[in-house]
């Protein structure tokens, strides 16, 4: 009778009755009984091995410990000479194992689709190889290197609870013959028993590695954020990147916007002479231009790689990881190029780590560049001071002269030794006490103080006509650190300028003096026009009376006009309580629209301060609305030969006035047209409000609300509201009334006083009941007052 494992299992699992067992044993010869005993012993040994595996994997999460333990059990249980265990690394697409190399654990890796192990892993099917050398998949070179002779192989997949193949187990050279189906089942059982522990250990190892990488990244970030000098910073960043990725060397290239080049002084891992090349050239150029990561496994197979660099240096580039360096605002700073990872190709994890480092590096590089720019600006400003025709004197907080330029020495008729480190009263004596008074006013109010056409008495007798401006100097914390005096010698121009200034603004006068009568002839120009108007002025003036109304207007106009002048604006005219200011009518700049918007925001901030002063005096607050438009107008002197006025006319002037008035409808403070918004050169907090049709204009106008002047109290949750408002308006224009109304309701929960959201919600309610015609274009016609 043949004694097989099925009979033995039947006995051990008590599937056979007592009489069946007695009958079975009675029919066996002594040799067969011995064979049965051997078989039972073998089965118990194998069962013990499964229990042993469970015990050995339960007390550790280290792959370095699990690999040798499991291979020892497999080798002993299957009576094999050797065994090996490979796990799949999904990140690299490789199978890897840990083996002893001398006194340390080393790692072996190969592609997951190569060799017998790769075939079993890919197919998920166990294989018994009776003759390894007859199998084309077997790599004999390993035997050749080690002097070992592989005869037969048993290889089975390792599956987790989800039946996914996570690796393979191999047994080599069974000591007493060939591997059979029982061996295969046993090895599959052993592998299945160990799968969960292996998977947990692999996951634990990844978590530990991530924690180490995060700690290293934090150390790196701490190191680079403490450096402010550009070149040492770049060297630190590059050293940190190569250390973080375990790479051989790298290069860091910065973008020169003026020359449209990438440049570096830390290329090849070493400080060297400056390297420059077009920002579109090579791998680095493509990475920078397209703002994408480039990962190259074999540099010499990539047509973008220039091997001449390697030939010139004797270096051999194997693989490359190139990452753009950009700020959160999307400003492209440069490119990091890392070469030759020491243990294989660059992985997705490497890309993520380098991207995180580059994000931090971008901030540090911008700060270092800013510091370098400030240093250059300081040197530049020193040069300007030396060459200025106006006198400049800087004083510290105690009114001691710190610096004085040559023009100031010439105007004051003194030497540097007589002025620097001297007190203000030593330079400007009693007849010039107005200078000291001006500086005291600046120190007291924190505002610039200008003195026009005053006499500076020198040597107790000589008078020089000057315009003098005292400016407060503040540090980054807005604390006073001193003052600056700017002295303009106007002795020669005094009479002419004083006479002309009675008839025109200073800006027009300066343009006329430079360009003659031609400067005042009509010309088409793009300007930004600002209108501001006091809300409810008529009723307010009735309550105040004539005297208080004039006082109120004087206070209001003083604060507002100073802001206009401070940002290169021209006060075109007062129209009752309304201010009309123009930016760019005399000399256009690319900052005209930005200046107009800045003036509008600062007028609102200044108004808050003015109202606080009024509240302390028990007076009612002032409310204003501001409208700004940008576009082509006619600028020139308009009027009769006896009375001319330099002003601007055109539909853009009318639009600014209409926008100022539209604030009443929308419950807003500052409205600008779309053209103004597109001309802004730096970010401004605002939202596109509506498409409107205003009286006197046929074409619809997109308008935006400027929100820069608001605080968290006056406009809560601003960023969330702006984002949600844009989405809600998009639904509104797509005729999705319910979705739009839902979003507007959410906005009103976050910001209950948001009048535009209330108006849109009302429109949605109306349109949901009475939809507009099919050709509706989303344009709203403002009601006529």
Q: Which of 499, 520, 552 is the last residue of a domain?
A: 499
Q: Is 206 helix (H, G, I), strand (E, B) or coil?
A: helix
- Domain assignment of residue 212, yes or no: no
Residues 706 and 719 in one domain: no
pLDDT value for 679: 94
> Minimal CA–CA distance to 648: which of 596, 573, 567?
573
**What percentage of the chain reaches a pLDDT higher than 70?**
83
- Residue 209 located in a structural domain: no
Query: pLDDT for 739-749, tens place per residue?
Result: 999 999 999 99
C-alpha separations of 670 from 116, 605, 703 in Å: 74, 12, 10
- The reply to whether 718 and 648 lie within a common domain is no
How many domains does the chain divide into?
5
Say which range, 195-209, 441-455, 648-662, has the weakest mean pLDDT.
Answer: 195-209
698 versus 560: the higher-pLDDT residue is 560
Q: What is the pLDDT of residue 226?
A: 63
Are 559 and 673 part of one and the same domain?
A: yes
Pick from 710, 728, 748: which residue ends a domain? 710
Chain-centroid distance, C-alpha 412: 51
> Which residue in 556, 532, 571, 533 sits closest to 610, CA to CA?
556
pLDDT surpasses 80 at 9? no
Indicate whether 157 and 30 sit together in one domain: yes
pLDDT category of residue 239 using cuts at 50, 70 and 90: confident
Domain extent, residue 679, equals 504-710
Q: Count how many residues are written for the chain.
A: 785
Nearest to 664 by CA among 712, 703, 625, 616: 625
CATH of the domain at 478: 3.30.450.20
Same domain, 654 and 730: no
Is residue 753's pLDDT more than 50? yes
Give the C-alpha separation, 625 to 579, whole Å: 11
154 and 136 belong to one structural domain: yes
Do 132 and 117 fall within a single domain?
A: yes
First to last CA, the chain: 113
Within this chain, do residues 364 and 419 fall inside the same structural domain, yes or no?
no
Does some domain include residue 217? no
The verdict on residue 215 lying in a domain is no
Query: Quick check: is 206 in a domain?
Result: no
When pLDDT is averaged across residues 398-413 and rounded to a whole number, the result is 85
> Strand locations in 652-716, DSSP E?
670-673, 686-693, 701-706
**Mean of pLDDT over the chain:** 82
Per-residue b/e over 376-392, b at no fewer than 16 CB within 10 Å? eeeeeeeeebeeeebbb
614 and 663 in a common domain: yes
Residue 66: CB atoms within 10 A of its CB come to 22
Q: DSSP state, 418?
A: G
Residue at 214 is within a domain: no
Chain Cα centroid distance, residue 479: 30
Residues 400 and 364 in one domain: no
Q: What CATH number did the domain enclosing 363 receive?
A: 3.30.450.40
Q: Where are the alpha helices (DSSP H) in 291-432?
A: 308-313, 348-387, 406-412, 424-427
| Cα(667)–Cα(685) distance, integer angstroms | 17
Q: Which of 432, 465, 499 is the last residue of a domain?
A: 499
**341-387 pLDDT tens trace:** 887 788 888 888 888 888 877 877 877 777 777 777 777 777 776 77
102 CB-contact burial (10 Å; exposed 0-12 / middle 13-18 / buried 19+):
exposed
Report yes or no on 264 lying in a domain. yes
Q: In the sheet where 94-101 sits, what is the strand order? A: 104-111, 94-101, 80-89, 165-174, 153-159, 127-129
Whole-number percent of the chain with pLDDT over 90: 24
Q: d(Cα 772, Cα 760) in Å, to the nearest integer?
A: 14
Give the integer Cα–Cα distance in Å for 427 and 423.
Answer: 7
The answer to the question of residue 160 being in a domain is: yes
**d(C-alpha 458, C-alpha 455), whole Å:** 9
pLDDT number for residue 203: 78
Digit-coded pLDDT (tens) for 570-604: 888 889 899 999 998 877 889 999 999 999 999 99
Each residue's pLDDT tens digit, 539-579: 999 898 999 899 999 999 999 988 998 888 888 888 989 99
Confidence band, pLDDT 50/70/90 cuts, at residue 503: very low
Two tokens at 137?
């998949």
Tell me: do 619 and 654 sit in the same domain.
yes
Which tokens in the block code for residue 304?
């973008």
Task: For residues 311 and 186, state if they share a domain.
Answer: no
The pTM for the full model equals: 0.42
Structure tokens of 22? 């007695």
Closest C-alpha among 599, 533, 531 to residue 564: 599
Q: DSSP letter string over 131-183?
A: -GGG-TT--HHHHHHHT-----EEEEEEE-TT--EEEEEEEEEETTS---HHH
């Amino acid at each position: 009778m043949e004694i097989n494992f099925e009979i033995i299992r039947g006995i051990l699992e008590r599937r056979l009755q007592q009489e069946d067992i007695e009958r079975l044993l009675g029919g066996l010869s002594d040799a067969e009984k011995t064979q049965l005993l051997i078989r039972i012993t073998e089965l118990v040994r194998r069962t013990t091995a499964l229990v042993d595996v469970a015990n050995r994997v339960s007390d550790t999460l280290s792959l370095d410990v699990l690999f040798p333990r499991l291979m020892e059990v497999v080798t002993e249980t299957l009576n094999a000479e050797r065994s090996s265990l490979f796990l799949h690394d999904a990140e690299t697409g490789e199978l890897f194992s840990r083996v002893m190399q001398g006194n340390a654990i080393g790692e072996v890796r190969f592609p997951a689709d190569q060799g017998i192990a790769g075939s079993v892993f890919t197919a998920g099917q166990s294989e018994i190889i009776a003759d390894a050398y007859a199998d084309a998949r077997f790599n004999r070179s390993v035997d050749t290197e080690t002097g070992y002779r592989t005869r037969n192989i048993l290889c089975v997949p390792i599956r987790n609870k989800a039946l996914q193949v996570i690796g393979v187990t191999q047994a080599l050279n069974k000591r007493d013959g060939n591997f059979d189906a029982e061996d295969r089942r046993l090895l599959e059982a052993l592998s299945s028993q160990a799968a969960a522990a292996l998977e947990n250990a692999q996951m634990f190892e990844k978590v530990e590695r991530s924690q180490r990488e995060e700690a290293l990244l934090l150390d790196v970030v701490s190191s680079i954020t403490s450096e402010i000098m550009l070149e040492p910073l770049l060297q630190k960043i590059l050293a940190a990147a190569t250390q973080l990725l375990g790479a051989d060397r790298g290069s860091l290239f910065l973008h020169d916007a003026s020359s449209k080049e990438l440049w570096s002084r830390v290329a090849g891992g070493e400080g060297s002479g400056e390297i420059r090349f077009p920002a579109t050239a090579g791998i680095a150029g493509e990475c920078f231009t397209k703002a994408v990561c480039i990962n190259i496994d074999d540099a010499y197979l990539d047509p973008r790689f220039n091997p001449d660099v390697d030939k010139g240096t004797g270096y051999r580039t194997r693989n490359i990881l190139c990452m753009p360096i950009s700020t959160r605002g999307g400003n492209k700073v440069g490119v990091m190029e890392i070469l030759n990872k020491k243990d294989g190709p660059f992985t997705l994890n490497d890309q993520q780590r380098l991207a995180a480092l580059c994000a931090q590096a971008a901030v540090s590089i911008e700060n270092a560049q800013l510091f370098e720019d400030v240093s250059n600006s300081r040197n530049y400003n020193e040069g300007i001071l030396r060459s200025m025709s106006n006198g400049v004197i800087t004083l510290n907080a105690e009114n001691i002269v710190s610096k004085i330029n040559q023009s100031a020495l010439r105007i004051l008729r003194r030497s540097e030794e007589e002025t620097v480190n001297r007190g203000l009263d030593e330079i400007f004596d009693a007849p010039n006490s107005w200078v000291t008074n001006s500086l005291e006013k600046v120190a007291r109010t924190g505002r610039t103080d200008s003195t026009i056409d005053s006499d500076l008495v020198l040597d107790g007798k000589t008078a020089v006509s000057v315009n003098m401006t005292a400016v407060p100097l503040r540090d980054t914390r807005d604390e006073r650190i001193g003052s600056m005096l700017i002295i303009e010698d106007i002795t020669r121009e005094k009479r002419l300028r004083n006479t002309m200034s009675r008839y025109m603004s200073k800006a027009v006068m300066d343009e006329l003096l430079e360009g003659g009568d031609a400067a005042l002839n009509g010309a088409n120009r793009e300007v930004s026009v600002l209108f501001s108007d006091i809300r409810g002025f008529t009723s307010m003036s009735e309550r105040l009376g004539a005297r208080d109304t004039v006082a109120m207007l004087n206070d209001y106009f003083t604060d507002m006009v100073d802001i206009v002048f401070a940002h290169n604006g021209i006060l075109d005219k007062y129209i009752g309580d309304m201010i009309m200011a123009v930016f760019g009518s005399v000399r256009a700049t690319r900052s005209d629209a930005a200046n107009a918007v800045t003036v509008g925001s600062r007028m609102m901030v200044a108004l808050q301060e003015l109202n606080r002063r009024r509240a302390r005096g028990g007076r009612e607050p002032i409310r204003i609305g501001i409208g700004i438009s940008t576009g082509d107008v006619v600028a020139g002197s308009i009027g009769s030969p006896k009375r001319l006025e330099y002003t601007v006319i055109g539909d853009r002037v009318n639009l600014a006035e209409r926008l100022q008035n539209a604030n009443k409808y929308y419950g807003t403070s500052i409205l600008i047209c779309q053209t103004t918004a597109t001309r802004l050169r730096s970010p401004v907090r605002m939202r596109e409000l509506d498409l409107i049709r205003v009286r006197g204009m046929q074409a619809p106008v997109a308008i935006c609300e400027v929100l820069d002047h608001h605080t968290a109290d006056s406009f809560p949750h601003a960023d969330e509201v702006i984002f949600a408002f844009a989405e809600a308006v998009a639904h509104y224009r797509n005729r999705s009334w319910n979705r739009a109304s839902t979003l507007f309701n959410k906005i009103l929960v976050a910001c209950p006083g948001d009048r535009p959201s209330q108006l849109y919600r009302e429109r949605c309610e109306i349109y949901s009941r009475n939809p507009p015609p099919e050709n509706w274009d989303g344009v709203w016609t403002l009601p006529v007052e």
